[in-house]
Amino acid sequence: MLKIYRVLGKKGRITIPFEIRQRIGFKYNDVLSFTQQDDGSVVVRREKICDNCNEFAEGFEENYTLEDFLDSLSEEEQRDALVHLSLMWAEKQNVSLPFASAKKK
């Protein structure tokens, strides 16, 4: 078992050591989940981007990232996705965006 120590930064950030990323296969843009166990330890897992990835697996590489997906969209689709995500964020933050009323119609 490989054990490496890192110090948690002021903003709660930590870098997963290269040796661990390489052994486990973590890659840039992977979605990771953190689960606290009963004994206080934390399990870190790489998660799938979607629930039904098997339906789309034939057309995608094994390590298809969110950035890859966004890059595959047209400029109009990227803009629509950005507007949609911005509206979702604004609703959660209880913030009003200047374009929010125009897009919600």
Backbone angles phi and psi of 42, in degrees to 5: -125, 130
Using one digit for the tens of pLDDT, what is the confidence trace for 76-102? Answer: 888 888 888 888 778 888 777 665 555
- Domain range summary for the chain, segments of one domain joined by +: 1-62, 73-105
CATH code for the part of the protein at 1-62: 2.10.260.10
Q: Which of 54, 56, 90, 48 is nearest to 72 (CA)?
A: 56
9-58 residue pLDDT tens? 998 989 999 998 898 888 887 888 899 999 999 998 888 766 555 555 55
Question: What does pTM read for this prediction?
Answer: 0.43
Terminal CA-CA length for the chain = 56
Cα separation, 26 vs 18, whole angstroms: 9
